[in-house]
Structure 1
Amino acid sequence: MDFEYWIELVNKVVNIITGPAVIFSVWFLVAQIRTQIKVGKAASRQSIAEAHQEVTLAGLDPLLMRAKLKLIKKEELSIDEEVGLRIHMTAILRARENHFYQHQMGMLDDEEWKTMRKALGTLFIDNKLNLDIWNKSKSTFNPEFVSIVDEEIDMRKDTFKK
């Protein structure tokens, strides 16, 4: 047994080991990527939940609550109340536009996005102020998002009071 024999034998053993090692490495990387995608989606969902909660809690501001009660009672709003509601609605719309972007990037699955779309549409039911805010500000939003919001509004147009 000469030196070349041992070199060739070691080379064959390395070749035998290398194939499964490469396959295992690729499998491990795929598993890591899948885990990171799940972590990213979970973080995205958590971020959305926190943002939604913040906007909801901001809506409990006494000025906004008073304004919402006036809207329900069909009473006239003060300038401060209307401005507060306009700012709040714009913040809600920006948050929803962010959800739209997350859906486009695959961070929200289709079912989650469908639910969010429905919730988005409910902002305009029997609410001419929100509709006015949307119509005046929609040129500042992503055109695809604008189409989606307009579709949701159109589906509910029979709910708008004359």
Structure 2
Amino acid sequence: MSFILENITTIIQALAAFGAIGTVYFLVRELGEQNRVSRANVRQNVADSHQKMALAGMKKDIVKIKLKLRKDEELTEIEDATYLSYFAVMLRSRENQYYQYTIGMLDEVEWSSMLKSFKTLFRSPYHLKLWSFMRETFDEEFVVIVDQIIEELK
């Protein structure tokens, strides 16, 4: 009888071990799936942010300001303040993208692509003026990246 109990105990222990291994396996798979979903959400949020900025940049008052800047015309105080706010929101969006990159939610290819498009902003002397005015309000690591981009463009 004790032999049968020992065998049953051994079988139950073996089944419990397989059950634990199976549970860990399914947990790892679930975590991987959650990570993929999180990354997809971040990418969608970045795309939504770009779309909102593009739409904001198409508003009549912003378009007028952009045209004046291209022609090197002086902005009024209201235009200057309006564009400062628009530019600040654009930079905050980029700062958020940098944060997403640093925590691994955006990969190197995605971040490099964003940096390329980001470089076009700092070809404008007006944007450089705005950056020098507001750079202290941004994360230090992000400031280093923007300053490096500006230095590369000189």
User: TM-score, normalised to structure 2's length?
Assistant: 0.95
1:13 maps onto 2:11 in alignment: yes
1:140 maps onto 2:112 in alignment: no
What stretches of structure 1 of length at least 5 have no aligned partner?
Answer: 158-162
One-letter identity of the residue aligned with 2:141: E
Q: CA deviation at 1:92?
A: 0.5
Q: CA RMSD in A?
A: 1.1
Deviations along 1:104-159, one digit per CA (max 9) or x if unpaired, are: 1111111111111122221111x1111111111111111111000011111112xx
Identity of aligned residues (%): 36
Q: CA deviation at 1:31?
A: 0.5
SS at match of 1:132: helix
| Equivalence for 2:50 | 52
What stretches of structure 2 of length at least 5 have no aligned partner?
Answer: none
Q: Number of residue pairs matched?
A: 154
41, 66, 79: which one aligns with 2:64: 66
1:42 maps onto 2:35 in alignment: no
Equivalent residues in 2 for 1:102-121, closer than 5 Å: 102-121=100-119
Q: CA deviation at 1:7?
A: 2.2
Structure with the higher fraction of residues in helix conformation: 2
SS at match of 1:124: helix
Deviating beyond 4 angstroms after TM superposition, the runs of 4 or more aligned structure 1 residues are none
Distance 1:13 1:92 in 2: 63
Task: Tell me, yes or no, if the aligned pair for 1:51 and 1:95 is still in contact at 8 Å.
Answer: yes
User: TM-score, normalised to structure 1's length?
Assistant: 0.90
